[in-house]
Structure 1
Amino acid sequence: MKKRLFASIMSVVMVTALVAGCGAQQAQTPDAEAPAADTQATEAAAPESAAPEGKELNFKIVVKSFQSSYWQAAVTGVNQAAEELGVNVECNGPNAESDIADQVNMLTNYVNGAPDGIGLAACDQSACLDALQMAKDAGIPVVCFDSGCPDAPEGSVLSTIATDNYGAGATAAENMYAALKDTIANASAPVRIGEVNQESTSESITQRGLGFVDKFAELATADGKKVAVVGNEFYVNGAKDKGDEATADVIIEVAVPAQTTVELCATEASAIMNKSDVLGIFGSNQVAAEGILSANENLNKLGSEPGKTILGVGFDAGSVIKGAVKDGTMFGAVTQSPLAMGRATVKTLYQIATGETVSDISTEGYWYDSTNMDSPDILPNLYD
């Protein structure tokens, strides 16, 4: 597929900072300008030789899965940027995000094909390290998006484009805590907050889950409550303070299914929601959030009345989650902009190929609920 080469690179869509403070439930206002580089990012110089004039650039993109609307939105952004810039792109990905070996094989095959650049959303941040070394040795620039690879061989990844996942998880906690603050303060016995993460391997999911745990614990502790984190060992050990369940006023229970499916996430969510002390539950991505909603089809415990129903908070969008937020079954959710990340990935690869210096790009998430999800600032980020 040949496309016209534009003379200049269009700006990458960015959002403004999240509204600060405990309990802020209003939406952020996205900005149409390009996102500023993460202040802690280390700039990476592009290869000295830019693409020869008239050469059609070929980029390969590996997403985490082709089976969710989130990744289809990212692919749409990739194709949009390719059309604008007149470059060839090919996208691929495993059937499920748990198919780590399949993704590594795809990445390795792409490296062997010697493209002008590769975009990678890694299912497992450590499983791709050998392939990234191969890419570096072959002189193929790699841009990571959605999830970074912090242990990647030095110089193999020239830019990481990702949501501030830890901060986005904290945003979910802030909004849930604000709604439950009085219920927790007046509780005469320990209360429980659930969290379902589809896995404990990818940076995006783990940071999101830990961001929620740490922020909720911080807010409850500031109000004089003792907090304990229980459940999945990775998240318990990764929490800033796992506390002591025996003396806790608030118990945060974290569950991870054996595989990343809605059905297995629903099983984990059901086990938590069946406990009588549960006030809220968080699903840290589309699969986990849909699992919580699936569990509720039999339990009918979710709602938007603090203390009377379990407050469900999700992450990402999709028609199932959007419908649940709109009708009040789910209290609210945090969304990213996968389309913008897909666009930014291709544009960053193009910058590298044409000799520009690039750096990391950090994008934000937005809180949405039934009161703001149709606003012009939020609606464009709620993919189907």
Structure 2
Amino acid sequence: MQTKFLTTCLVSAVALLAASAQAADKEIAVIVKTVNSTFWQNVQKGATDAQKEAAGYSMTFQGPAAESAIADQVNMVENAVNRKVAGIVLAPSDPDALVPPLKKAWEAKIPVVLIDSMLSEAGKRYYQSFLATDNEKAGELSAKALIAKTGTTGKIAIMSYVAGAGSEIGRVGGFTKYIKANSQLQIVGPFYSQSQMATALNQTTDVLAANPDLKGIFGANEPTAIGMGRALAQSGKAGKVAAVGFDGNQDLQGFVKDGTLEAIAVQGSYQMGYLGVQSVVKLLAKQPVPEFLDTGVVIVTKGNIDGTDAKNVLY
């Protein structure tokens, strides 16, 4: 009786392990910078829709509590590799820290598609495709929108997010380069919010108080731009200091409509998720995918916020 019981348990355990292995073998792991952002939740919507179209594949969606929790994201990638997932879609929070776990994925022959942010040169061989906004171009477009309101002289501030993140380097770099090449505007900052809205609010409040002659301000990602907008409203500077934000959730749309923000640069976040999963499925089917795919950006203002182009990217 006891032998029969033990045999039954053993068979059940083997079956469970086999089922788990089979499930992981068909799992596409989507790992983003944080789950606590509507931007990344919109990426999840796109990824989920692509998974529904991918016969036989499941999807998991993960991210740390904060974009600055880089070690947590590294662990998530390592865990995905250890459970032998079919493929990985990753938005790396740090260009260097994510290289070692992706090397393990490459060694395990797990295809990887990056979205939003690039890795450093050392990691270029460990992924097959990169899907993102052309962040440098997006930064330039944001600078153009701000100069159109401030003119080419005076003082502006940059409210950024995580120093060294691939998207931040391109986005703030493109913004700064354009400002310096096309104006005499003096730049204050950048200040880094660590993608925390409350931090951005406090930093912006301090910048506005310390620079009463400030003519313009740029908020370089969603939580930073929301904090910036709230600080402008609370300080009575909304509409008086020209402001351009980045990304397009309901809060930022409201700031554009009421004039707190002159414009927002909105990425194709849904497309990142959708095309990211779709690209992994193609790689698993031995189909070609582009090395880089620009998922686009739209400058949304009060004048075009109800138009088709804006509605296709707002969330």
TM-based fold match above 0.5: yes
Alignment partner of 2:92: what SS? coil
Alignment partner of 1:377 is 2:309: yes
Unaligned runs of 5+ in 1: 1-54, 186-190, 226-249, 304-308
**RMSD, aligned α-carbons:** 1.6
Match of 1:97 in 2: 67
Q: Is the 8 A contact 2:195 2:221 kept in 1?
A: no
The residue type equivalent to 1:139 in the other structure is: K
The reply on whether 1:279 has 2:242 as its aligned counterpart is: no
The Cα shift of 1:110 comes to 0.3
Give the Cα–Cα distance (whole angstroms) in 2 for the partners of residues 276 and 215 of structure 1.
24
CA distance in 1, matches of 2:284, 2:122: 20
Match of residue 4 from structure 2: none
Pair 1:267 & 2:202 matched: yes
AA of the residue aligned to 1:315: F
Pairing of 1:83-94 with structure 2 (within 5 A): 83-86=52-55, 87-94=57-64
Which residue matches 1:323?
Answer: 254
Contact 2:160 2:219 in 1 (8 A): yes
Report the Cα distance in structure 1 between the residues aligned to 2:192 and 2:294, rounded to whole angstroms.
Answer: 29
**CA shift digits 1:335-381 (9 cap, x unpaired):** 00110110000110011000112222122211011110110121121
Sort the Cα spacing of 1:154 and 1:379 in 2 relative to 1 into closer, same or farther, 3 A: closer
Question: 2 CA distance for matches of 1:325 and 1:61?
Answer: 31
Percent of counterpart pairs with the same letter? 30
Residue 302 of structure 1: SS of its match in structure 2?
coil
Equivalent of 1:314 in 212, 231, 245: 245
Is 1:75–2:75 an aligned residue pair?
no
C-alpha deviation, 1:260, in angstroms: 2.9
- The equivalent of 1:121 in structure 2 is 91
Evaluate the alpha carbon distance shift between residue 153 and residue 334 of structure 1 in structure 2; reply closer, same or farther with a 3 A threshold.
closer
How far off is 1:256 after superposition? 2.5
Per-residue CA distance 1:281-304 (angstroms, 9 max, x = gap): 00010011011112124311021x
TM normalised by structure 2 equals 0.88
Pairing 1:339-358 to 2, within 5 Å after superposition: 339-358=270-289
Unaligned runs of 5+ in 2: 1-23
Q: 2:149 aligns with which of 168, 172, 179?
A: 179
Deviates most, 259-268 or 57-66:
259-268
Alignment-mate amino acid for residue 66 of structure 2:
A
Could you tell me which residue of structure 1 aligns to residue 11 of structure 2? Answer: none
Among 190, 202, 209, the alignment partner of 2:165 is: 202
Deviation at 1:78, TM superposition (A): 0.3
Structure with larger RCO (C-alpha < 8 A, sep 6+): 1
- In 1, distance between residues paired with 2:221 and 2:193? 16
Contact 1:335–1:366 (CA<8 Å) still a contact in 2? yes
Is the contact between residue 77 and residue 101 of structure 2 (CA under 8 Å) also seen in structure 1? Answer: yes
For 1:254, the aligned partner's letter is: G
In the TM superposition, residue 152 of structure 1 has moved relative to its aligned partner by 4.2
The TM-score normalised by the length of structure 1 is 0.73
User: Over residues 36-66 of structure 1, what are the superposed CA-to-partner deviations in whole Å (9 max), with x where a residue is unaligned?
Assistant: xxxxxxxxxxxxxxxxxxx983211101111
* Aligned-partner residue type, residue 70 of structure 1: F
Residues 108, 325 of structure 1: CA spacing in aligned structure 2 closer, same or farther, 3 A cutoff?
Answer: same
1:264-289 deviation digits (Å, cap 9, x = unpaired)? 11122122222122100000100110
2:176 aligned with 1:213: yes
Say if 1:121 and 1:144, in contact at 8 Å, map to a contact too.
yes
CA distance in 1, matches of 2:193, 2:63: 21
Aligned-pair distance for 1:89?
0.9
1:367 aligns with 2:283: no
Query: Which of 185, 192, 202 in structure 2 is aligned with 1:257?
Result: 192
Q: Structure 2: which amino acid aligns with 1:73?
A: N
1:160 aligned residue: 130
Helix, strand or coil for the counterpart of 1:256? strand
Indicate the residue corresponding to 2:237 in structure 1. Answer: 301
2:252 counterpart letter in structure 1 = I
Which of 5, 19, 26 aligns to 1:57? It is 26
Q: CA deviation at 1:151?
A: 2.6
**Map of 2:8 onto structure 1:** none
Match of 1:17 in 2: none
Listed one character per residue, the Cα deviations across residues 116-148 of structure 1 (whole Å, up to 9, x for unaligned) are 110100111111111011111111111100111
Match of 1:337 among 268, 284, 293: 268
Paired residue secondary structure (1:346): helix
Structure 2 CA distance for aligned equivalents of residues 152 and 323 of structure 1: 41
Contact 1:316 1:333 (8 Å CA) reproduced? yes
What CA deviation, in whole Å up to 9, does each residue of 1:311-350 have, x standing for no partner? 0110001111110101111111100011011000011001
Q: Which amino acid aligns with 1:368?
A: V
**2 CA distance for matches of 1:311 and 1:58?**
46
- Work out whether residues 199 and 256 of structure 1, in 8 Å CA contact, stay in contact via their aligned partners in 2: no
User: What is the number of equivalent residue pairs in this alignment?
Assistant: 289
1:153 is aligned with what amino acid? G
Matched-pair contact (CA < 8 Å) for 1:318–1:382: yes
